[in-house]
Amino acid sequence: MKALVFDKFGGPDVLYYTEVPDPVIGDHEILVKTEAVGLNFADIYRRKGNYHLAGEPPYILGYEGAGVVSEVGAAITDIKVGDKIGFADVPYANAEFVTVPYEKAIPLPDQISCETAAAVLLQGLTAHYLVHDSYHIEKGDTVLVHAAAGGVGQLLTQMAKLLGAEVIGLTSTADKASIARDAGADQVYLYSSDWVAEVKKATSGQGVKVVYESIGSTLTSSFKATKIGGTVVFFGMAGGDPAPVDPRMLMDTSKTLTGGDLWNVLTSRDERVTRSHQLFTWIAEGRLQIAEPTVFSLSDGAKAHELLESRKSTGKILLKP
């Protein structure tokens, strides 16, 4: 089969498309003919050597995607050849075929395409646990979403609105502010403005009930924008490491700092299937809109990496074998 691989760490230019051995499945695994693969920043970090990689080169990136079942392990009875399967955390997906463990296989309903699944699963499941588990949004809550035009940010905004919250978004440009508004944000401020003051003004001087903090370097400001007794959910640091948090500040203001990691939530097949089908239902009902993805051929994966790394993209980037 063909796959996008690399032998050494570096920039997008280390990636190349070549022939590699076909995978061989075990009794509890499924061979999936890949239809679409989601590109994520984790792929960039692995390509650069920031994350540990098992095995020997050539390395194959890709953890999120969807496709059609080509072969089923002997121990599996409820999935058959021809079914559509999605996955959010299966390695070596940047290839024509991928081996999916049964516990990580997410059946796709007829109305959900492989492209839609690959575009929504990782970011959608992240947004889902953030609004249900890290902090359970309730009707009337005021919510501040960092990077509101990004993939997770747009989904977070929509889910918060579905749950009855008022959403304030933060973006880096006016164009991205428009995208955040289209996703449902009630108000949007730019990082170049005095956004803490703007948020306080918009909330009658109190601040928001919860901040979804994915930038890292803005953590201190996020606390300033949070009301007494509010919560900051820290789930990323795209803009750099956060400053240390003084626990005395948390005590004095009754504020909460909590973290979030998807892999602490997706601990079973039931969790994967149940949460995914909530996403699929919202999409099928038209309550959750998925931005049109930017699609590259898998053989042009280096160009896709360049675009994602430039931070000029706003929707999901997909690779198609």
Residue 196 included in any domain: yes
Under the banding of pLDDT at 50, 70 and 90, the label for residue 63 is: very high
Between CA 292 and CA 295 the distance in angstroms is 9
* 172 within a domain of the structure (yes/no): yes
CATH number of the domain that 278 lies in? Answer: 3.90.180.10
Q: Is 129 inside a domain boundary?
A: no
Same domain assignment for residues 89 and 12: yes
Is residue 9 in some structural domain? yes
Domain boundary at 259, 292, 309, which? 259
Instruction: Please tell me whether residues 12 and 99 are part of one structural domain.
Output: yes
Domain match, 109 and 219 both: no
Backbone angles phi, psi at 90, to 5 degrees: -120, 120
Check residue 95 and report its DSSP letter: B
Q: What is the CB neighbour count within 10 angstroms for residue 201?
A: 10
285 pLDDT more than 90: yes
Query: What is the pLDDT, as a whole number, of residue 239?
Result: 86
Last residue in a domain, options 259, 277, 297: 259
If asked whether residues 178 and 285 sit together in one domain, one would say no
Please provide the DSSP assignment of 100-162 as one string: EEGGG-EEPPTTS-HHHHHHHHHHHHHHHHIIIIIS---TT-EEEETTTTSHHHHHHHHHHHH
**CA distances in angstroms from 71 to 23, 82, 85, 97, 235, listed in the order given:** 11, 9, 12, 10, 37
In a domain? residue 230: yes
Q: Are residues 33 and 112 in the same domain?
A: yes
Are 64 and 164 in a shared domain?
Answer: no
**111 and 173 together in one domain:** no
Cβ atoms within 10 A of the Cβ of 151, count? 25
Examine the domain organization and report whether 173 and 271 are in the same domain.
no
Number of independent structural domains in the chain: 2
Whether 145 and 239 map to the same domain: the answer is yes
Angle at 238 between CA 321 and CA 5, to 5 degrees: 25
Is 126 part of a structural domain of the chain?
no
**Which of 259, 277, 305 lies at the terminal end of a domain, its last residue?**
259
Return the SS3 of 295: strand
Distance separating alpha carbons of residues 77 and 70, to the nearest angstrom: 14
For residue 280, which of 161, 121, 132 has the smallest C-alpha distance? 121
Confidence of residue 260 (pLDDT cuts 50, 70, 90): confident
Cα angle 278-280-286, degrees, rounded to a multiple of 5: 105
Q: Which domain holds residue 233?
A: 139-259
> pLDDT, tens digit, for every residue of 189-201?
999 999 999 999 9
Strand order in the sheet with 16-19: 16-19, 2-6, 59-60
pLDDT at site 309: 87
> Are 159 and 142 a contacting pair, CB within 8 Å?
no
Torsion of CA 190, 195, 200, 203, to 10 degrees: 10
Q: Are residues 207 and 234 in the same domain?
A: yes
Q: At what angle do helices 151-162 and 174-182 cross, to 10 degrees?
A: 40
Tell me: do 71 and 153 sit in the same domain.
no
Q: Give the 3-state secondary structure of residue 22.
A: coil
> According to the model, what pLDDT value does residue 311 have?
74
Task: Please tell me the total number of residues recorded for the chain in this structure.
Answer: 321
Of 58-67, 165-174, 257-266, 271-280, minimum mean pLDDT range: 257-266
pLDDT at 198: 98
Residue 10 forms part of a structural domain: yes
Please work out, in degrees rounded to the nearest 5, the angle formed at the alpha carbon of residue 271 by the alpha carbons of 165 and 255. 40
pLDDT beyond 80 at 122: yes
pLDDT band at 56 (very low <50, low <70, confident <90, very high): confident
Residue 100 falls inside a structural domain: yes
DSSP SS3 for 36: strand
pLDDT at 29 over 90: yes
Domain CATH for 213: 3.40.50.720
Q: 230 and 183 in one domain? A: yes
